[in-house]
């Protein structure tokens, strides 16, 4: 496993620093927008692997549009059968040992890189899209592009797009040192009406009812971050009690449309400590100030998470 990971990292690095002259950013952005449209509109099937520091998982993803309605299926190919099905705006989950359930959503986010569904017209103000060259993946010639934040505060992506269909056949998530954190890699794929025919059975499938997601209360929080990476916007905020810990937690969720993170503020206790933890793309940064525990958790490099945590203005909180 260690040898495989080293090989993956070296390959990503060699492509990342290729001597091919970059194309104009606008042309690269147009290619990424075509990827988004192809991923949402074509009838296709992927057999692919996800590689991370944790291990390798093998999956199959099918996607079809029938009568202007999206149908999709994500299936884990090894071990216990885990399946996610999309029918329109309902996402249904089937896990061993758990009752099936459905949640509202526009697409399946589990085990698929979020960059596939990003709105690149909104990201263009904060990211550079750079064409690296061409390379062969899954026996297909691909355009290779980099996605890099302009302020250097986030991770970056390298994306391999099939020249003909514009579907993503490989996506590497890189840290700020160019090391591979995660890799999505298609082994084989098909784009044809046969996939649509396979998915037609979902039109009348008996899927679990969609759970109602409670709306968060409108709350006003006294604290504010003094600094955020460019393009990050507030998605939601809430305050909730934690009876088991005999205290409450205030949270704000932020996203730029590609990466997201949360800031949590709770009263400090004897177990509170300043610490930095990182697992793959996710960082947990905790600092203590004025008897409060401030935690930034999400898809950020540790240095960025710490800068956000250190910038929190607690306002009237004591």
Span 26-72, pLDDT tens digits:
689 999 999 999 999 999 999 999 999 889 999 999 999 999 999 99
Domain with 9 in it = 2-204
Question: Does residue 186 belong to any structural domain of this protein?
Answer: yes
For 38, phi and psi rounded to 5 degrees? -65, -40
**Averaged pLDDT of the chain:** 88
Q: Is the pLDDT of residue 11 over 50?
A: no
Q: What is the pLDDT of residues 304-317, one digit of tens each?
A: 999 999 999 998 65
Give Cβ neighbours of residue 123 (< 8 Å, ≥ 6 apart): 147, 231, 256, 257, 258
Separation CA 318–CA 316 (nearest Å): 6
Question: Does residue 209 belong to any structural domain of this protein?
Answer: no
Separation CA 29–CA 130 (nearest Å): 8
Where helices occur in 67-192 by DSSP H, the ranges are 120-123
Assess whether 153 and 288 both reside in one domain.
Answer: no
Query: Tell me, what's the pLDDT at 317?
Result: 55
Q: What mean pLDDT do residues 6-13 have?
A: 37
78: tokens are: 């090894």
20: tokens are: 């091919």
CA trace torsion 129, 132, 137, 139 (10° rounding): 120
Assess whether 179 and 105 both reside in one domain.
Answer: yes
Per-residue CA distances from 10 to 179, 187, 224 (Å)? 9, 19, 41
Examine the fold and report which residue of 145, 173, 204 is the final residue of a domain before the chain moves on: 204
The DSSP-derived string for 117-133 is G--HHHHTTTEEEEEEE
Q: What is the pLDDT of residues 112-153, one digit of tens each?
A: 899 999 999 999 999 999 999 999 999 999 999 999 999 999
Q: Is the pLDDT of residue 213 over 80?
A: no
DSSP H or E run through 63: strand 56-66
Q: What is the pLDDT of residues 234-280, one digit of tens each?
A: 999 999 888 777 788 999 999 999 999 999 999 998 888 999 999 98
The conformation of residue 78, written as its DSSP 8-state character, comes to S
Examine the fold and report which residue of 204, 232, 258 is the final residue of a domain before the chain moves on: 204
Determine the straight-line distance between the first and last CA of the chain, rounded to whole angstroms. Answer: 49
Question: Does residue 40 belong to any structural domain of this protein?
Answer: yes
Query: From the CB of residue 54, how many other CB atoms can be counted at a distance below 10 Å?
Result: 10
128: tokens are: 């550079």
Assess whether 186 and 264 both reside in one domain.
Answer: no
Assess whether 200 and 228 both reside in one domain.
Answer: no
Question: Does residue 19 belong to any structural domain of this protein?
Answer: yes
The count of structural domains within the chain is 2
Question: Does residue 66 belong to any structural domain of this protein?
Answer: yes
Tokens 């991370």 identify what position? 52
The whole model's pTM is what? Answer: 0.86
Separation CA 252–CA 230 (nearest Å): 17
Quick one: pLDDT band at residue 22, thresholds 50, 70, 90? Answer: very low
């Amino acid at each position: 496993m260690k040898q495989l990971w080293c090989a993956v990292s070296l390959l990503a690095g060699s492509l990342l620093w290729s001597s091919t002259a970059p194309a104009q950013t606008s042309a690269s952005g147009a290619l990424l927008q075509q990827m988004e449209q192809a991923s949402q509109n074509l009838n296709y099937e992927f057999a692919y692997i996800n590689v991370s520091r944790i291990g390798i998982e093998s999956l199959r993803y099918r996607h079809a549009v029938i009568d202007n309605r999206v149908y999709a299926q994500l299936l884990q190919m090894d071990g216990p059968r885990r399946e996610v099905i999309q029918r329109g705006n309902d996402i249904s989950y089937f896990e061993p040992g758990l009752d099936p359930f459905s949640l509202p959503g526009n697409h399946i986010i589990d085990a698929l890189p979020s960059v596939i569904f990003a709105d690149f017209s909104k990201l263009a103000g904060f990211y550079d899209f750079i064409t690296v060259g061409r390379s062969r993946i899954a026996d297909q010639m691909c355009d290779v592009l980099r996605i890099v934040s302009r302020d250097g505060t986030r991770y970056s992506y390298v994306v391999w797009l099939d020249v003909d269909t514009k579907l993503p056949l490989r996506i590497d998530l890189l840290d700020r040192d160019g090391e591979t954190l995660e890799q999505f890699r298609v082994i084989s794929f098909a784009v044809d009406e046969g996939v649509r025919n396979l998915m037609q059975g979902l039109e009348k499938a008996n899927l679990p009812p969609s759970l109602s997601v409670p709306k968060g209360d409108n709350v006003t929080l006294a604290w504010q971050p003094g600094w955020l990476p460019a393009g990050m916007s507030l998605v939601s905020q809430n305050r909730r009690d934690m009876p088991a810990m005999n205290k409450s937690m205030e949270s704000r969720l932020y996203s730029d449309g590609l990466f997201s993170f949360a800031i949590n503020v709770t009263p400090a206790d004897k177990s509170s400590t300043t610490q930095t933890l990182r697992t793959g793309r996710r960082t947990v940064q905790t600092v203590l100030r004025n008897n409060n525990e401030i935690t930034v958790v999400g898809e950020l490099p540790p240095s960025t998470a710490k800068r956000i945590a250190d910038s929190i203005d607690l306002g009237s909180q004591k």
